[in-house]
Chain A
Amino acid sequence: MTSIDVHELTKEYGTTRAVDRLTFSVAPGRVTGFLGPNGAGKSTTMRLVLGLDRPTSGTATVGGRPYTALDEPLREVGALLDAQAAHGSRPARDHLLALAAANRIPARRVDEVMEQAGIAAVAGRRVKTFSLGMRQRLGIAAALLGDPGVVMLDEPSNGLDPEGIIWIRELMRGLAREGRTVLVSSHLMNETATFADHLVVLGRGRLLADTPMRDFIEAHSEPRVRVRTTDPVRLRAAIAAKGHEAVAADHGRWTVGGARAEEIGALAAAAGIPILELTDESASLEQAYLALTADATEFAAAAAETPLQEA
């Protein structure tokens, strides 16, 4: 199957280095979340992969070939870059028809993807009458036109209603299950956590992480255990003896930072303390992400003001 390979990719606009010696691969059969603060270079990287912008140095290839060398590119790569990027006074169906015609994709397929994206009923309407969510669906329909093995979506859930967000999530997971390569950029962490298997994280144009999502969260967060007992005094003492500290949480629960359930469970059993509840609290992707990008973000102040969410 086809993968996206970015090698030593650099793009400078004037004196600004938007993408800085970036190297990573996006493998087929899984959804790769493409994360980073605004201005980290996600969209630029996608434009470079599509041959829309020329790299200052380095290469970006799809299945080993530069995008511009693909014969009928929509049949191999489908991309959603900007939902606004359709001429407002053109009917939606004609927008897709023009794209399909250039790649010799039959008109029947245009109707199929409009059906799939849930916009078949408004196919004849001009794009400027569409809501942001409908334009997003139109952009996704365009990405699916050529039944491509590689799909790149830039902020696909922008403007979608809750139903639409579930739809796009299931769509992406389905595409990955079929063995396709799926790269999805987002700045919504909780959203990304629901569909991504793998993460590529950028900060200031550089690669910060390229790991499976589970590993990413574990690597960038401290383990924490939540425990409830009938004998908090003895439990606290036992935990303190191991060098941890139990902090009171609501509803009679205690949280222990830096420890795992195995450790606390064994410790309580050894001391004969009854345990009513014991779980590992995993950090959210958002917490892990913010821990990683705290110093890489261009807008660190703004990020610090974002309240952390409980997992």
Chain B
Amino acid sequence: MSTTAVLCSEWIKVRSVRASAGSLLAVFVTTVAINVLASATVGQAEADNEGADLLFGAFYALNFGQIAAIAFGATAVSSEYLNGALRVSLAAVPNRNLFYAAKMTVVAGLAVAAGLLTSFVTFLSGQAFMGRYALGLGDPGALRACVGGGLYLALMALLAAGLTVVLRSAVATLSLLIPFLLIVSFVVGDVAGGVADFLPDRAGQQVLRQDPVGALGAWSGLAVTAAWAAAALLAGWWALRRRDA
């Protein structure tokens, strides 16, 4: 079968379901809007604090954007698991490796594009309100954080996408990942050092800091998040290959 044709088919599927297209748009809108709001109101006061990481503060709203990124990854895949739609899809593309690779490539491509756009616009728009604390792309680590932040969002989307294939439901994925990000990671992260540094969100967010904290550096932290995403993608691939549709 033609790889291009299958990619094209997966692109049509993603763009024609409101939930997927909508959550992709939400990644951008939520992050930029919340960040502008936060920067304009408490931005300078926060930056005034002792030891504040100005760069990390510039990406504060990424915490919200990542929820939308997860929703995008989950819904882009979960449409195959409603009412046996997967059977129709696999009847059209019986090569499951190709089917899975094409789907994840489309999810990854869109997530990277939306992630990078979000990350750069968030940084630049937010800094416009920071007055004397404002950073530019030329400041140390800023460009790295913008690129890294975009990739981070994409990796979270892929983590959700892989997990959704294993769980066969967006609801299951979201009810696993969102509490994990909102609660477990915050609580465990503040209590315990060491292991918590390797949680997907905490590790990946090191790339947003001027001075990474904990066991991991900026890029090595993002690599740990990438490893989580890769593990979820592999598990999804294994599940799709193994199961009856």
Binding site for B on A (CB under 8 A): 47, 50-54, 67-68, 70-74, 77, 79, 81-82, 84-91, 94-95, 97-99, 101-104, 142
Contact = CB atoms under 8 A, between A and B. Distances in A.
B143 to A, nearest CB: 37
A103 B85 contact: no
Interface stretch (B57-65, B91-99, B179-187, B225-233): B91-99
B175 interface: no
Closest 4 CB pairs of A and B: A94-B16, A102-B9, A53-B244, A101-B9
A102 B88 contact: no
Contacts of A77: 91
Contacts of B245: 47, 52-53
Contacts of A52: 87, 90-91, 244-245
B84 interface: yes
By size class, the interface of chain B is: 20 to 34
Given A81-B87, A89-B18, A104-B2, 15 more contacts: A50-B90, A52-B244, A79-B91, A81-B91, A85-B83, A85-B84, A87-B79, A90-B79, A94-B12, A98-B10, A98-B16, A99-B88, A99-B92, A101-B8, A101-B9
26 contacts: A52-B244, A67-B94, A81-B84, A81-B87, A81-B88, A82-B83, A82-B87, A84-B84, A85-B85, A85-B88, A87-B85, A89-B17, A90-B17, A90-B79, A98-B16, A99-B9, A99-B88, A99-B89, A101-B9, A102-B5, A102-B6, A102-B8, A102-B93, A103-B1, A104-B2, A142-B88
A6 to B, nearest CB: 17
The secondary structure that dominates the B interface is helix
A68 B12 contact: no
B13 interface: yes
Contact of A86 (B2, B9, B85, B95): B85
A84 to B, nearest CB: 4
Given A70-B94, A74-B91, A101-B8, A90 B84 contact: no
Given A47-B87, A98-B16, A101-B12, A87 B82 contact: yes
B34 interface: no
A67 B91 CA distance: 9
B25 interface: no
A254 B85 CA distance: 55
B19 A89 contact: yes
Contact of A91 (B2, B9, B16): B16
Contacts of A82: 83-84, 87
Which of A88, A90, A94 has most B Cβ within 10 Å?
A90
Given A89-B17, A104-B2, A73 B94 contact: yes
A94 B8 CA distance: 12
Contacts of A89: 17-19
Contacts of B10: 98
B16 A68 contact: no
A73 B91 contact: yes
B94 A86 contact: no
Contacts of B93: 102
Contacts of A99: 9, 88-89, 92
Contacts of B18: 89
A82 B91 CA distance: 12
B22 to A, nearest CB: 10
A68 B95 CA distance: 7
B92 A73 contact: yes
A68 B18 CA distance: 31
A85 B12 contact: no
B68 to A, nearest CB: 18
Nearest to A68: B94
A252 B10 CA distance: 69
B64 to A, nearest CB: 24
A218 to B, nearest CB: 37
B74 to A, nearest CB: 14
Interface in B1-35: 1-2, 5-6, 8-10, 12-13, 16-19
